[in-house]
Amino acid sequence: MPIEKTLRGLADGLRQLRDCFLALQLTAREDTPREGSVVLVDTFGDAVDDCMGWLEEALALANTARQAAAPQGDLAAATIALAACQERFHSVERLFFADIVSYERLHDLLSFGRRRKGEWEAWVRSIKQGAEQCRPPFEDVRSELISCWQEMVDRAGGTSVSVHATNIGQQITSAETRDLRNEMT
């Protein structure tokens, strides 16, 4: 598969993940019950906001990599952009699994909802459901990143190899070796 198509798949996966986080952000920031807010709620919302920022950066970098990887493009620039994209994605992933859906955080939120009851309990259920909907796109983006790196390696390592039959068997030489032999003769 061409690298441009693979990078487009990565950008699409990042958009899906961003859309899940956008829904989670809306619930965390806009759907919060008006009375009785606590630091736990603000901390959760801040973590979601941070993830959104890194996802926006990752998406922009994926698009930069795709443009740089176009035919006759700059493969080195595409590689740098892809590496930066992956770094942002890993930042989102670490924060999501450590601070948003970790056992401790979910336990704290569920306990908070049970204590507050009513609107808060419904809000916590919505948050938990929204966070769970973010899990599948993470797997999709991970797979797309692997595919992108495989395509980058294939494209970067595209040296030609030829096979010549001789009276002593087969001799396999790369284009560089063949050019070197021709220079010597």
Assign residue 74 the CATH number of its domain. 1.20.120
pLDDT digits (tens, 9 = 90+) for 117-138: 888 888 899 999 999 999 999 9
Average pLDDT over the chain reads 85
Within a domain: residue 182? no
Domain count, the chain: 1
Within a domain: residue 169? no
Model pLDDT, residue 13 = 97
Q: Is the pLDDT of residue 141 over 80?
A: yes
To the nearest whole percent, how much of the chain has pLDDT over 90? 54
SS3 labels along 96-109: HHHHHCCHHHHHHH
Within a domain: residue 164? no
Model pLDDT, residue 185 = 57
Within a domain: residue 68? yes
Q: Find the domain containing 13 and state its range.
A: 3-159
Q: Which of 54, 57, 2, 5 is nearest to 25 (CA)?
A: 54
